[in-house]
Amino acid sequence: MNRNPYFDNLKAMLIILVVLGHILSEMVDENIWLASIYMFIYLFHMPAFVLISGHFSRVVKTKKDLWNLAKKLLIPYAIFQVIYTMYYTRVFGENIEMSFIDPRWALWFLISMFCWNLLLFVYPRNKKGLLLSVVVSLIVGYIGNINETLTLARTFFFFPFFLLGYILKDKHFEQLKIKTNVGLSWLLFGLLFVAICYFGDIHWKEWLYGRIPYKEINDGPTTYGFLNRMIAYLFMGAATYCFLSIAPKKQLTITRIGSITLIVYLLHMFIVKYIQNSYLYDWVEKTNQYYVLFVLPFVVVYILTRKIIIKVGFLLLGVRIRRNRKKILQTK
């Protein structure tokens, strides 16, 4: 199977940003610059991830398709939900109950991914369907019962990006790489970062998560909640467009990581959770060694892309390592 380095580069950079975002999350209230970087990352890293996932998805048409999708997403979700619940309670003493309707941390993505694939069968897979998905998302924000339970709020919030990714063809991504477009994207990307730095507020982060209804975000009336979400969509769409344009399309050192991002995504929480419960943040703040926070994601990803870790990851996912995975398992 010939993989496109462009998409693997995108996924590799995004998984590093996912880890960075989780590491920075514990310090966004302590440092305004870290808060700005965190907000900037959240403008595009999940929308881009969801969009790419949609691009490589297929419509569920048969019972076999549904079963294969469940094996790929729901079974790993159940396995890691149990593992992480035990990890949080036994190692860190957290008072949480075993539940399959409240995803542990980043596991929400697996449930939403399953639902997004099913929604492809429901929504028109064209511009009208895309517009409908946005309208439905804007309305869903007013429904209090659609929240973090079974990650329904996030499912509707990010579905427009998933549907857009499905609609887009490879030629559309190639058009993004036109030199003039890349230059303008770098400029707009920079302007968005400056805007976040000078005008952003970390309390706006919930508008980028899409995990809870408007009434739990707004202190006052939620009448114009749809407008706030629409503004969030505009900024997220612009930032995602820029990121997709400036991402390199040549084979790089990190390209290989793009083929195993699911393994890194599912396992990185073990390490990040340990970091979050260590004295590292206190040390960083006292010594002003903030650069460490930006080095850690590369260390975490490096560890999780070693051959033995990949094998364990595939084992937990119930995936056999076939001959065509030989290149994936190669390490330097």
pLDDT (tens digit per residue) in 56-93 = 999 998 999 999 999 999 999 999 999 999 999 999 99
pLDDT of residue 328: 44
Q: Residue 243: pLDDT band by 50, 70, 90 thresholds?
A: very high
Kindly state the tokens that stand for 172: 């559309």
- Examine the pLDDT at 14 and tell me if it is beyond 50: yes
User: Total domain count for the chain?
Assistant: 1
Which residues form the domain of 324?
5-329
- What is the mean pLDDT of the segment spanning 40-55? 97
Tokens 């429901």, residue located: 122
pLDDT of residue 321: 53
Percent of the chain with pLDDT strictly greater than 90: 84
- Examine the pLDDT at 266 and tell me if it is beyond 70: yes
Burial 7-34 (b: 16+ CB within 10 A, else e): bbbbbbbbbbbbbbbbbbebbbeebeeb
- What is the mean pLDDT of the segment spanning 288-292? 94
- Examine the pLDDT at 1 and tell me if it is beyond 60: no
Task: State the first-to-last Cα distance of the chain, in angstroms, to the nearest integer.
Answer: 22
Contact 235, 82 (CB under 8 A): no
- Examine the pLDDT at 94 and tell me if it is beyond 60: yes
The distance between the two most distant Cα atoms of the chain, rounded to a whole number of Å, is 58
Kindly state the tokens that stand for 94: 């957290």
Amino acid in position 299 = V
pLDDT of residue 329: 44
Residues in the chain: 332
Q: How far apart are alpha carbons 1 and 320 in whole angstroms?
A: 17
Q: Residue 220: pLDDT band by 50, 70, 90 thresholds?
A: low
- Examine the pLDDT at 105 and tell me if it is beyond 90: no
